[in-house]
Structure 1
Amino acid sequence: MIAALDSCVLRDPRAVPATESRSLYYARLYDRLGAGLDALAAHLICDEDWTDEDADRTALPLAVLGTLARAGRSDAVALLRRYAAEGRDWTLAVEHLARAADPAALSGMLALALERGEDDELYDCVRQGTGMRPWRVWGFQDARMRAIVEQVDLDWWRWELARGKSAAGQDTAPADGPQVPPRMQPTVDQVLSEAAASPRRSFVCGRRLASVATAEHRALILAAAWSGAAGARVAALRYLGDLGDPALLDLAENALGDESPAVVRQAAVQAVGGLRTREAVGRARDWLGAGKDGALGDVAVRILAGAGGPADGPVLIAALQRCRHDHRGDRRFALGDLVDGVGRLGLVDAVEPVRDVYLGSPCAGLRSRAVDTLARIEPAFGGTTAVECLWDCEAGTRRIAVDRADLAVDGVLERFRELARDPSEDEGVRSAARRRLAAL
């Protein structure tokens, strides 16, 4: 069990680490199992720490140690202090030490930071840090750190001042500074050309179109979406999708054809699948009635999941049955829409496939959406799934469970008390647990 836990922390299993929070979950397991931190120490304090370029190599182990330090684990504090002295990502360790329960966790860290950090590195630490600790507090104790903190504050002030003047249409160049010409706003043609030349930037360019395009540019953008270069088509489709433009319904039949590049088909699926208008629902039903399958069929199902009616229930359940075990990155979006649609329509016949998604998904976000749907359609949710989810790694899932779990089930009342008093717990979960306990 402990070896499996170490493996999960050291070889982060999250598909998208930035969207899933597991450090509290893993830290609680270390605490409950009485697990030592030797494996984490061996992973962090080694030569590979300085040669491995993977940015995620240390993030989760340090976050777990930080959570344990906030819970009062002295061995976690000691390991964080050792890593701060010897490790590559020492500034992250210092940030976690600043939130430790032990007030002595930061003892001597100011001298270490001044020794290890160049001014530019310390500047970034202050700029990116949250709150006052530790960098700003250290500014009151050391002249060099104070100068860095003051420089950060001055640069922020200049940036805010420049932004305010820009919004007011004034010249933003300081009177005694270099005269920098104002940055020219790109045209729609230029953004589309950039997308065509750099397909990797096509989605970014699609977002940039929103800041430069007006109603008079619609024809130009539609032309790019129909027959432009692949990158330009992707940018145009993203822009039109954000607007919910009805022309996407005709574009879908062209863009989702076999002759379109894969990146264009993917952009079309995302753009068209997000439509929620009455016209889109009617067209989706027509596509399915005509036997359209493949990407166009998937888009039709996603539209019906978001805006269809009870009569579309059998189609949604059948689609969920087909893809419930497919958790690939390009299928999670479709699964999420289907699960949400089942919950929105209250399709109780879909309990089993939704439970399969909940039990089998490696993505915490998708699992949370499945739990939200089960709360609406599973008759015994409060005494079964909700109880399981009180220990889930995702705060949103725990919040749903706290609101619905049956307090008469063995162990639930004690779990509520743990959640209510745990300082590391999400505040929304803690408040919900306290509210239910107070109602007893």
Structure 2
Amino acid sequence: MFVDSVDSDIAPSGTLLGLLQRGRGDGTLHALAAPRAEALAALRHCVLRDPRRDWQIEHRSLYYARLHTELEAGLDDIEAHLFHPDDLVLTEGAEERTGLALSVLGHLVSYGDDDALRLLRRYAVAGANWQWALDELAVRDDDDGLRALGPSLLARFAPTPEGDAALGEAARDAFEPRPWRLWAEDPAHPEQAERLRLLQERGNFDRWQRQLHTQGPRPGWSVREVLAWAEEDTARPAGPHREAAAARCLAAVAGPDDRPELLAAARGGPDACRAAALRHLAERDDPDVLDLLQAAATHPGSGYDGAPLPPLAASALASFARMRGAAALDRARRWAAHREDALGLVAAQLLATRGGPCDADAVLAALRRTVREQGPDGDDLWPLVDGVGRLAVQCAAPVLRHVYRETASSQLRGRTARALAATDPAFPAGFAVECLWDCEESTRELAAEHATTGDARVVERLRRLAVDPAEQAGVQSAVRGRLSPDAGTPG
């Protein structure tokens, strides 16, 4: 019925490896019931070959660290991975290659694993991705341990102008400032403290100079000059797009008398100034902008398949998606019902976000079609999944269950779980139970609020989460709400 995931690096969802790669709660439950050697092999594969679609927003480290602890897995494979010769020659991609393994070690330290702490310290001194390791230590190591790393880490930077510049940049980019503060205040190494103090003063002065003498691009202060400035950006295709900045400038300079010029630019100007004018007019719900957006967004061959669009069409669709007026909603209903292109899809997404109960059928139809065309991992699914949940479309449950099982994105799965909570009466006794072991904090929090306590596993899991030192505050708050006497759950 639906397109399956086409990500060749992700195993099928019915396998142990596929469950663990997705971060599903059933992955942990199946791993604990599987032969230990098989479970360890699957866990090792996930930790050493990061399976996430987007490592910057998806979580796996705590999920894998918990399973690592349950299986009493050793650290030999992680150590070999971190100190592999590839780590010494890799100039780009170090974060993707070792970041997940380092984060897993950080959580193991939270669980009292001294071997993981020593391994993190070693890698911080010698590894290519040392800044990530240092950030993990910054929130888990004690002051003495961090101070001891100072001389070795600062020795990475030669006492030259180039080395000092690189050191200053590293200190400014640090996610956690605690180690740098300790090194700058370490009385045992006064030369180290003086070097960091001078670099901080120099960095503050340089920042002040940049703010004082900024040479950023500046448009002239008329509608015509702003539109011309927006068009200048097309000569630098790799540069930043000025559409949004130009629209903000137009908001400051355009008056009622400028509307004919803006309409003319939106109707037939060069693409860059046309996009800026369309965005400006859309933000003001101009009565003529919907027809202009339709003309700009219509592109032969576009559909629900998520294929890339020309910049002007994509910009026009984005401008329409941001509109909030009644006229935009009325037009979205017409487009969602009668168009089978990208404009019809964005119209359905607008209804999913801002429509009412009368729009439930259109949103559900768009969700089904998008899953058929793009599979369970399409980016266009996100607002539609949220929409059927917001509108409580009961008959959406089957397609939501399919997305939940198959998607490789733990973020999309979490949103799908929230939609299921609003549409599927079976959710509390079904997926909500496994969600207590999910890799995403928000999904575990949702499960803590909805999972039926008639399942013995649920009460035991809630109790364990309540005392887990690595669990997030939001999850533990929801857990305490379920375990309180007023909630009727045994404490």
Q: Shorter chain as normaliser: what TM range?
A: 0.7 to 0.9
Q: Is the 8 A contact 1:23 1:60 kept in 2?
A: yes
> 2:272 and 2:45 mapped to 1: Cα distance?
40
Q: Which residues of 2 match residues 273-284 of structure 1 at below 5 A?
A: 273-284=321-332
TM-score w.r.t. length of structure 2: 0.76
Q: Is the 8 A contact 2:281 2:289 kept in 1?
A: yes
Higher RCO (CA < 8 A, seq sep 6+): 2
State the match for 1:292 in structure 2: 339
> 2:478 and 2:124 mapped to 1: Cα distance?
36
Which one of the candidate residues 165, 185, 195 is aligned to 2:218?
Answer: 185
> 1:33 and 1:378 mapped to 2: Cα distance?
34
Which one of the candidate residues 79, 96, 104 is aligned to 1:64?
Answer: 104
Q: Is the 8 A contact 2:445 2:478 kept in 1?
A: yes
1:138 aligns with 2:175: no
1:374 aligns with 2:420: yes
Q: Is the 8 A contact 1:343 1:376 kept in 2?
A: yes
Amino acid at match of 2:97: R
Any idea what the Cα deviations from partners look like across 1:242-270, whole Å, max 9, x if unmatched? Answer: 66666552233212223696233233333
Equivalenced residue count is: 423
Any idea what the Cα deviations from partners look like across 1:80-122, whole Å, max 9, x if unmatched? Answer: 2222232112232222223336676436312211322343343
State the match for 1:175 in structure 2: none
Deviation at 1:229, TM superposition (A): 4.0
Q: Is the 8 A contact 1:313 1:347 kept in 2?
A: yes
Any idea what the Cα deviations from partners look like across 1:100-148, whole Å, max 9, x if unmatched? Answer: 3667643631221132234334323332335552110121113344235
Q: Is the 8 A contact 1:126 1:152 kept in 2?
A: no
Amino acid at match of 1:341: G
Amino acid at match of 1:343: G
Runs of 5+ in structure 2 lacking a partner? 1-38, 158-162, 221-225, 303-308
1:205 aligns with 2:242: yes
Deviation at 1:237, TM superposition (A): 5.3
State the match for 1:82 in structure 2: 122
> 2:98 and 2:445 mapped to 1: Cα distance?
28
Flag the 1:243–1:399 CA change in 2: closer, same or farther, 3 A: farther
Flag the 1:255–1:414 CA change in 2: closer, same or farther, 3 A: same
> 2:461 and 2:391 mapped to 1: Cα distance?
32
Which one of the candidate residues 301, 309, 320 is aligned to 2:356?
Answer: 309
Flag the 1:184–1:125 CA change in 2: closer, same or farther, 3 A: closer
1:424 aligns with 2:470: yes
State the match for 2:439 in structure 1: 393
State the match for 1:123 in structure 2: 168
Amino acid at match of 1:279: A
Amino acid at match of 2:356: G
Amino acid at match of 2:61: S
> 2:442 and 2:412 mapped to 1: Cα distance?
11
> 2:53 and 2:286 mapped to 1: Cα distance?
31
> 1:258 and 1:360 mapped to 2: Cα distance?
31
> 2:434 and 2:40 mapped to 1: Cα distance?
21
Q: Which residues of 2 match residues 158-177 of structure 1 at below 5 A?
A: 172=212
State the match for 2:30 in structure 1: none
Q: Which moved more, 1:230-239 or 1:49-58?
A: 230-239
Flag the 1:192–1:139 CA change in 2: closer, same or farther, 3 A: same
Flag the 1:218–1:124 CA change in 2: closer, same or farther, 3 A: farther
DSSP-derived class of the 1:61 partner: helix
> 1:104 and 1:415 mapped to 2: Cα distance?
36
TM-score w.r.t. length of structure 1: 0.84
Any idea what the Cα deviations from partners look like across 1:303-334, whole Å, max 9, x if unmatched? Answer: 221222222222222221222255579941x3
Flag the 1:183–1:301 CA change in 2: closer, same or farther, 3 A: closer
DSSP-derived class of the 2:456 partner: coil
Flag the 1:152–1:253 CA change in 2: closer, same or farther, 3 A: same
> 2:138 and 2:430 mapped to 1: Cα distance?
39
> 1:34 and 1:372 mapped to 2: Cα distance?
33
State the match for 2:449 in structure 1: 403
Give the CA RMSD over aligned residues. 3.2
DSSP-derived class of the 1:60 partner: helix
Q: Is the 8 A contact 2:147 2:182 kept in 1?
A: no
> 1:143 and 1:245 mapped to 2: Cα distance?
65
> 1:396 and 1:438 mapped to 2: Cα distance?
21
Q: Is the 8 A contact 2:53 2:408 kept in 1?
A: yes
State the match for 1:6 in structure 2: 44
> 2:264 and 2:79 mapped to 1: Cα distance?
57
Deviation at 1:225, TM superposition (A): 4.4
